[in-house]
A and B are shown apart, each in its own frame.
Chain A
């Protein structure tokens, strides 16, 4: 069974076509690297899989269940249980590091005490023990991105979408986060779709690379 299956998915906004007749399968436990120039549709592809962008036509299935058909959304974004690591982390500015994670767990109906325990556990896993009460404005780029990763994992996703996760980080932090991602995939058996404009860095841990151009697949290897 494919983790993600797109069947002739097209996405238009006004007169612009952002994705065109895209057909793609991502196997379970695969780490797919999506590369391409700016405006090629990389982020749009992630947003479509996540349910944040609605296709104009085509079908999208997640782990065998149809998530959207044409422009009809069958499973909305908030019910897809997908982890999404945004380009800039997208940390909520008014919540501490622990609160970011607890908010996610609260949505899943987990009791308050359990939420605090799991938030600490996740922060420890991303090597941010003791950062529970730190606010986003006080975190460095690397720390913020690791909090965002912990938050994305809080939904216990089977699919993790990464939108240029290494973008704002320096070389050392990039290597550390890449190692963490490799470990994550090994340990949890996650499927990862990873968008980047710097493919060389992540190629070592990726299982396949997909090149997009103008909303179409140019190359897959």
Chain B
């Protein structure tokens, strides 16, 4: 690809993703760092690490069997359950917390562990499912001939495990950086469950000092990178289980009498993570304990639309702009990651905006853009897209890079020999060949943008989004309006994936 194109994309990424971090880092003073060495900070950090590890292990324990059963066995309705398994990941974790704390009277740490595991197990499941189905059938046959099912498992598990562990590492990262779930379960009353991300938010709230906020975030950043960098390495190792040109699909494994118990496990997980929460919201929107009725439900929805029309519109527009920008930028960066000399060196830089605590990234956006020269941008809804693009472009770039890696380089060579320049090759050859991955990147970024709360919480321009409205409203009491608005948001979140599965023939590639 042409160097100017890559340089423009890299400069844009530096402005959107790295500059907010650089301006923050520049303000750290030695005094700020002293705040790190307190017993309270150490306790919080330890608790956060244990919380992240616990949730990652739970996600692994739930996600690997779910992925295996839905991708490789003759379990009833496996092909329908597999895409439905992604829904809990798409739902805002705070929404799951809202529901489960009400349904099961859960509080404190158990509630946070339960909700986060439900929310992140799909990360492991989708990675594991893809790996299991990409193991060549002949490889399994060869193992079966020498040692039966045991040999098959010994030969294939090492190929599926790295992607599953990659998913678990991402579950850890998502969990320790999500401030909304611990905040919500603590807000409900004793026992409280505070994690490290809370303290960054609280530090900024108390003295608005960027230096102190950065200093406070450093241990969490280290913790995140300790998991994120292995996740990237595992993702590359996961490519071992990839499709060769003469790939032969593995045979479906017959579960025999275990077919229905397997179905109960998978369907149960989806019910806990998606259907029950949505059902509960529907019940609340229709009147809940006061008595459910369709007229109450209709009234709640019309009130939600009336009172939050602007917020919903802002959310959708920001998410659409962000997803489009991320896909375009991610295609160029992802291609460079995979094809350019020393492109891999870009990877740690690309993940940095995601690795820093979301609250800190939001503060960085405030410090960078809150100036006279950029006041118009700072006050507009466009700032939300600027923030979200900087933070989420890594997903689009990694999805593109993965797809480029599986694209025969001679396709681009052939276009070059035909006289096509770099931009033509990218837009006419690479992009159409990767359309399901680009669509996957679009959907993933769209969903993450709609449900993002932590990074946008402190940014004034983002105070007029649907997610922010829900966050604000639940602190003043839950009612039919909040439930209806939450359901409306869920509908918008699942809509692109739903449309894709209805009208497209290829499966959406959602994985980085």
Contacts and interface: CB of A to CB of B under 8 A. Distances in A.
Interface of A: 47, 50, 52, 77-84, 86-88, 90, 92-94, 103-104, 107-108, 148, 151-152, 154-155
Given A52-B416, A82-B417, A93 B410 contact: no
Contacts of A151: 414, 418
Contacts of A88: 245, 408, 410
A79 B410 contact: no
A79 to B, nearest CB: 7
A77 B203 CA distance: 57
A52 B417 CA distance: 8
A78 B410 contact: no
A108 B419 contact: yes
Shortest 8 CB-CB contacts between residues of A and residues of B: A107-B419, A90-B410, A104-B418, A94-B432, A90-B414, A84-B417, A86-B410, A77-B416
Contacts of A83: 417
B411 A90 contact: yes
A92 B429 contact: yes
Contacts of A77: 413, 416-417
A92 B414 contact: yes
Given A86-B410, A87-B410, A103-B428, A92 B433 contact: yes
10 contacts: A47-B413, A78-B416, A78-B420, A86-B413, A88-B410, A93-B433, A94-B432, A94-B433, A107-B420, A148-B414
Nearest to A52: B413
B293 interface: no
Interface string B398-424: 000000000010110111111111001
Contacts of A82: 417
A154 B428 CA distance: 18
Interface size class of B (residues with CB under 8 A): 10 to 19
A78 B417 contact: yes
A81 B435 CA distance: 29
A155 B411 contact: no
Interface of B: 245, 408, 410-411, 413-421, 424, 428-429, 432-433, 435
B418 A154 contact: yes
A103 B421 CA distance: 12
A148 B418 CA distance: 12
Contact of B418 (A52, A93, A107): A107
A91 to B, nearest CB: 8
Nearest to B424: A107
A87 B419 CA distance: 19
B424 A84 contact: no
Nearest to B432: A94
Contact of B419 (A90, A104, A148): A104
Nearest to B419: A107
A151 B415 CA distance: 10
A78 B414 contact: no
Contacts of B419: 78-79, 81, 104, 107-108, 155
A36 to B, nearest CB: 20
B243 to A, nearest CB: 14
A165 to B, nearest CB: 13
A214 B417 CA distance: 27
Nearest to B422: A78
Contacts of B408: 88, 90
B420 A86 contact: no
A103 B419 CA distance: 10
A152 B411 CA distance: 13
Given A90-B408, A92-B429, A93-B433, A84 B414 contact: yes
Contacts of A47: 413
Contacts of B429: 92
A92 B417 CA distance: 13
A86 B418 CA distance: 13
Nearest to B435: A94
Contacts of A94: 432-433, 435
A14 to B, nearest CB: 11
- Residue in B245, B410, B417, B421 whose Cβ sees the most chain A Cβ within 10 Å: B417
A90 B413 contact: yes
B170 to A, nearest CB: 30
A151 B428 CA distance: 16
A148 B417 CA distance: 12
Contacts of B421: 78
Given A82-B417, A90-B410, 20 more contacts: A52-B413, A78-B417, A78-B421, A83-B417, A84-B417, A90-B408, A90-B413, A90-B414, A92-B414, A92-B429, A92-B433, A93-B433, A94-B435, A103-B415, A103-B420, A103-B428, A107-B420, A108-B419, A151-B414, A152-B417
A162 to B, nearest CB: 13
Contacts of B418: 78, 103-104, 107, 151, 154-155
Contacts of B413: 47, 50, 52, 77, 84, 86, 90
Nearest to A109: B419
A84 B417 CA distance: 7
B417 A50 contact: yes
Contact of A86 (B245, B414, B433): B414
Contacts of B420: 78, 103, 107
Which among B414, B416, B432 has the greatest number of chain A C-beta atoms within 10 A? Answer: B414
B133 to A, nearest CB: 20
A80 B419 CA distance: 8
Contacts of A90: 408, 410-411, 413-414
A103 B420 CA distance: 9
A106 to B, nearest CB: 9
A77 B415 CA distance: 10
